[in-house]
Structure 1
């Protein structure tokens, strides 16, 4: 499979050197994900690396062409800018914060690499609109997910599947049946489930789970999952697709999807939706000597707040 991938990349105009840079970056992310931290004895000091993590972080730094000291600093130390004079303060991160920043760094690199690859593929197969006759569109999404514990990731995936289901129903079954009826054809009517009520619950305006979630993020206050659960139930109680697991001690809500009921945990959902990218993480990537990372994170593209 690896050789098939390489051959496909050659056909798309991605030379061997660029391929190797891609694989180096991906390998660096794998090693970065293995870096584990332990709480320091002195809270004024950065988190300590577990013994086995030292080799992982060194390898990750080498593959990403980032000095290990700089890599460790942006993961373990938070930079705070305050005051009218924009004074800069540095504060050691907790173990949980270090893990979040490590994952954030990996995600932003992977996301940029993915977007760049899609752009390269599109440029390679592009033809002038004047000679278009037809096209092939590829849509690659996760299937419907329902795990013992579900959070924002599963909510977004299942929302996408709900939209696809609605598109299929509205643009195929419903339209086809209306056409048959207009032509006076005799046939057996197919009963289908309209999932608009579920979509209104997730994405509707002015009130929906997404709108309430975004509002919580804009308020920029400490997340209170019990209060958030109460807000959801109070605002959306009239929607029959909403319920909750009253036997669970964890704040949650249940959505009746077209494919079945899914219980979503509210813990950390607000934080995941914020998904902020600390500016210092972007800066360390912009300063990398790796040619691919320099292309993905040009110096002119200064820090974004979120992905």
Structure 2
């Protein structure tokens, strides 16, 4: 296990207030629709509209402490790049982000608005990772690798620290799973601070690499991802992150594209919040759980809201399972 609770607690104390102590509350109407007591942890009300600022702030803080932070580079589907650009701009650190040319145009535009130099490459996120590593070698910029860089995991773990402070019972937390930093960090914090709480990872069945690796105990070969949840659409598994997840989490499940869309709709209808597909995975898992969470207290992390109005409207209006209940 690479994570360390003492470092996580220090990271939380040093986070910018715009990322720390985010809202966490019971959403009665959404819980009633799902058959459980549901707690929402809202990570979208910040300048980059996602949880990624916790990790990038931690990485940049540690680089500055070491005196090695002149320039950084990363590969990103959009949220990591925005967060790194935000933190770099406030610190005077140059930021280069490599993204797929097929990435969400809203996320690309926001990375540039925040001051990042954005380089586009053809192919999946793995091609962007190769280019980012090449830029780091050629320029001397520090390569920030999501989930591989322990700072990104320990920054995300501060969410688990805050969830552990909830009053009353907390039976389970359902966490979106992509590269693994969020799920491993939250799971590690909860295992240390609230040991009776299950941490359950959730991934699209059309992008199942990490889930299948967890089930097999090793990386497995999968096809190219084909999901609307671009924020978790990786194809390859980092062995060290797989080890962390195996130690820190209790289960991993897969959800359908229809379930993701319906979850986005329900979150909007019952909580008044617009989230991107990757942020709806937890609610989708409850929808498709066949009663696993009935009557239990469950938390889910709404980890991002970087979705265009056009995409959100298109996806949710086409879903036939409309539900027009009252919001929280």
TM-score calculated relative to the size of structure 2: 0.22
Higher fraction of strand: 2
Q: Which has the larger radius of gyration?
A: 1
TM-score calculated relative to the size of structure 1: 0.23
